[in-house]
Structures are given as structure tokens and as C-alpha cells.
Structure 1
Amino acid sequence: MKTYFISDLHLCETRRGITTSFLELLANLDPKETDALYILGDLFEFWVGDDYNTPFNLQIKNALKDAVDRGTDIYLVKGNRDFLVGKRFAKQTGVTLLGDETVIDLYGVPTLILHGDTLCTDDVKYQEFRQKVNQPWLQWVFNHLPLSLRLKIVSKVKGQARNDKQDKQLDIMDVNQHAVVDAFNRQQVTHMIHGHTHRPDLHTVELTNQIGERRVLGDWHSHNFVLRVTASDHSVIKEPIVEPK
């Protein structure tokens, strides 16, 4: 049996190659050989609400539902781009939404899974923004605004985020080691899987009297990136993404 982990696809209508690759992944999941698929945040480039049912969004929802209906368990951790994914999306797709931090039993190994943005504590401005937009009352207000207004707000936020990213040092946008150790200790685990930073790698972390292992998933920009885990090994599947002409 296999368990799959992906993150940071940033699905959008303008990158059809990424969408095609994701749809192929879902279609090829064999429930008889698959324990689960975990999507660790930023499945979408930006999600403005569960009621934004464009043909593209419906295509993704239907593909997820088809995979779940065939017998594959799919779990989603919300990222910094799709934090507005909600209960309606979960009901429509059959996907199970997880919290910011979840410990799973990965073939006998307790493993912490998360998007990873909460570990980037050196980016103080982003953490302040994150704390603000994840307040339930503010999300309720936003979701009850007219869709046209929500789209304008999101467009403005995306533009500001691009400008802020250009001005930030690369180290600020990576994880803070103290935050990483705190997460290991808080959840009492020695294994962690996350995305967000777009810096795929396998890191060892010194913990109290033991060594931790932090696996970082890659984004889906030029290649797809799938971590496949079995009871005996871990492997990365990468294939070039071809954009249709």
C-alpha cells in the first residue's frame, strides 16, 4: 500500500499543464493500492470562496469527488493561498479538511503534516497577515460579500503579495529552526512533512536526545512533485510539466 503527499500546485486556469498533471494523478490512483492522498496546502493559486463555481473550479471539484467516490481517501491542509476553502468544498468533494497541524500514523511512524507557513516565523509581516485573515469572524464577513467585490479584494491582495515577496530576503521566507524544533516537541514526534517554501529537501533536526527528520515537498512549477511513502521506503516522483501550445 502507498500514501501520497503533494503541495503547492497553485492550480489556475492559465497553467493548464499543471491542471492536466494533477487530474492524471487523481485518475491513476488505485484505491486497492492507495491508503490516502494528502494535499498539504496551496492546491489553488487563490481561493475566493466555495461558491465561486467557475467551470475550472467545478472541474477540480468533480475530479476530487470522482477519486473519493472510487474509494481513495483524500485529505487537505489549507495553505496560505487557499485558506478560504471551507465545509461546502469538503461536502462537494468528499475531501477531509485537516487543521494547521495534524499527526498521522504513517506505517507505524507518528508524522506531523502541515502546510509549513506557520514555521516561517522570521517573516513577521506575513505572520501578522495570517493571524488576521484566519479569524473566523473576518472570514464569515468576507464570504458574505458580493463575489465581484471579493474578486477585486483578492486581486489587490495578490498584487501586494507579489510586491512584498520581491522585497523580502530569501532567508526570511524559509522556516525558522526554533519554530521547527518547537513543532516537533509540541507534537512529540520525530518526523515531519510540509510544503510552502518550494525548497524540496530532506533535513535532519537535532532534538532532545534524538534526531528528527523534516521532509519538504516541492512545488508544481516546472515539474510535478509527489512523495510516495510505503511501509518500507520513501520515494519522490517528478515529471516535467508540459504546457499545451
Structure 2
Amino acid sequence: MTTYFISDLHLHDTRPAITRAFFNWLDAISGHCAALYILGDLFEVWIGDDDDNPEHRRIVERLRQLRQADIPLYVMHGNRDFLLGPAFAAASGAELLDDPTVIDLYGEPVLLMHGDSLCTRDHDYMAFRRQARSPDWQAQLLAKPLAERRAIAAALREQSRSMNSLKAEDIMDVTPAEVVKVMEAHGVQTLIHGHTHRPQRHHLSANGAAAERIVLGDWGPQGWCLAVSPTRRELSSWPLAGE
């Protein structure tokens, strides 16, 4: 059996090919999947558990089918879907994970994160992240009508695209010192995260020993996953039909 890790699918009704590819991938792994971890940004946008978007409901139902097949499902908030809440968890059967979370992965403590909190050089984004994670701010947003929330989400996405186009590439990547700091604070030698859309396996030193940071890829022209068993770790990609 294999444990799978994915992130940054950014599922949206304007990207139906990605949703189809995700469903096909779930079918392909279901017979040998010990657990599935989705480390943030499963959705391009999530404006609240009361959202009546038909595509989102279809995705939630597909996740529910996964759980009905007795496959444990874990979902972490990303910077696009930080409003995923208890109603989503109940409907999908997923367990919502704190960011960060340490799990026991075949006998090794492994740190899981979305990854955005590691990008400490992006001061504008870090300020927005603190605001967006505030319970008061979220409550005020969720109290607004769905139509208004959709408009706010669209404006925030456009603002993000505009601001990111002006930033240096390294600012939007993780801060190496922050990576080591977080890994040592949690006493781990392996960190798995997404967010940066820069899939790679990085070797570093933490806690006075060799360590590894595994970055998951975003789904677009290619799908990405990390497959882990007691004997292997494989970060792989494959072309998505229609992309």
C-alpha cells in the first residue's frame, strides 16, 4: 500500500480538464492507496461551506466516495481555500489538518505544511495571510451574501496576480533559514509542502543531520504526486489530457 501526497490542484469550473484528471487519478490509485493527503489549494477558491457551486459539490461527493472506500483522507488549508470548514469536512469525509502538522509516516515523523508561511520575504503576502487567518476577519467575510463573497474573491485573485507579476521570483519562494527553523522546531528530518509550484526534492541539513524538503507540484499541463511506501519515495508527474 502507498500513501499519496498532492497539492495545488486549483480545481475550478473554468478548468474542467483538471477535475476530470483528478477523478481519473483517484480511480487509478484507489486499489492501493493507504491514505491521501491534500496539502492545500485543492480548490482555486472556496468562499464558504455554504457555496452552492455545482462543480464544487461534485468534487466533494467524489471525495466522499473515496472515504466510503475506506481510504483515509486528509485536507490542509491553502492560501486559496482557507475557508474550508467543518461542513466541508462532514460532507467529504475528510479530516482537516492544522498547518503545520507532524505525522508518523511509516515510522518517521514527517512535517506537513501548505508552504505559504515559509515565504517570509514576501512581506505583503505575509500581512494578508495574517489577516485571512484571523477568525474575526473570516467571520465577517462569511457573514456576507454569496454573491458579494464571489466578487471579493475575484478581486483578491486579480490583485494577487497583479502584485505577483511585479515581485522577484525568489521573494515568492521559501526562505531557506525559515525552512530549517521550522524543521528543527518540530524535530523532523523530512518536510513535505506545496504552494510554490516548484516541485523538487531538496537536500539540506537540520538538527545536525541530513534532511530533505519535498515540494509538491501544481496541476496544469501535468499532474503531480508524491508516492510513499515503506521502501520508496517517488515524486512523479504525468501529462494531463486536454491541457
TM-score by length of 2: 0.97
Shift of 1:228: 0.6
Q: Is the 8 A contact 2:75 2:95 kept in 1?
A: yes
SS at match of 1:184: helix
Pairing 1:202–2:198 present: no
**Letter paired with 1:107:** Y
CA distance in 2, matches of 1:40, 1:157: 21
Instruction: Kindly report which structure 2 residues correspond to 1:13-162, keeping only aligned pairs within 5 A, or say none.
Output: 13-30=13-30, 33-162=32-161
**Letter paired with 1:7:** S
Shift of 1:208: 3.7
**Letter paired with 2:5:** F
- 1:70-115 deviation digits (Å, cap 9, x = unpaired): 1110100110000011111001110000001111111111100110
Number of aligned residues = 243
CA distance in 2, matches of 1:111, 1:228: 14
Q: Which residue of structure 2 lines up, in the alignment, with residue 217 of structure 1? A: 216
Q: Is the 8 A contact 1:26 1:64 kept in 2?
A: no
- 1:32-52 deviation digits (Å, cap 9, x = unpaired): x32210001010111111111
Shift of 1:202: 0.7
Structure 1: stretches of 5+ with no match in the other structure:
none
Q: Is the 8 A contact 1:90 1:97 kept in 2?
A: yes
Q: Which residue of structure 2 lines up, in the alignment, with residue 190 of structure 1? A: 189
Q: Is the 8 A contact 2:203 2:213 kept in 1?
A: yes
SS at match of 2:30: coil
Q: Which residue of structure 2 lines up, in the alignment, with residue 233 of structure 1? A: 232
Shift of 1:209: 2.0
SS at match of 1:148: helix
CA distance in 1, matches of 2:6, 2:154: 26
Q: Which residue of structure 1 lines up, in the alignment, with residue 10 of structure 2? A: 10
- 1:59-80 deviation digits (Å, cap 9, x = unpaired): 1000000111111101001100
**Letter paired with 1:4:** Y
TM-score by length of 1: 0.96
Q: Which residue of structure 2 lines up, in the alignment, with residue 163 of structure 1? A: 162
CA distance in 1, matches of 2:208, 2:27: 44
Structure 2: stretches of 5+ with no match in the other structure:
none
SS at match of 2:34: strand
CA distance in 1, matches of 2:64, 2:210: 39
Query: After TM superposition, what 4+ stretches of structure 1 lie above 4 angstroms from structure 2?
Result: none
**Letter paired with 1:205:** L
**Root mean square deviation of aligned Cα:** 1.2
